[in-house]
Structure 1
Amino acid sequence: MTRTIGEALYEEAQERLRDAINTEAAPLGWFIAESNGSECSEYQLQNDDEAGMFRDDDAVWDHVWERSLLEPSGIEARALDWLKRNCPDEYGYIKAACGRVFPFSRTPPPKKEEPDDRHWRRTEG
Structure 2
Amino acid sequence: MASIGGKGLITRASRMRSKLQSALEASLLEIEDVSYQHAGHAAVKANPNAAAGETHFNLKIVSPKFEGQSLVKRHRLVYDALADELNSGLHALSIVAKTPESHGFDRDSFNAMQ
Band of TM-score, shorter chain? 0.3 to 0.5
Q: Which has the higher contact order (CA 8 A, sep 6+)?
A: 2
Q: Which has the higher strand share?
A: 2
TM-score normalised to structure 1 length: 0.33
TM-score normalised to structure 2 length: 0.35
Q: Which has the higher helix share?
A: 1
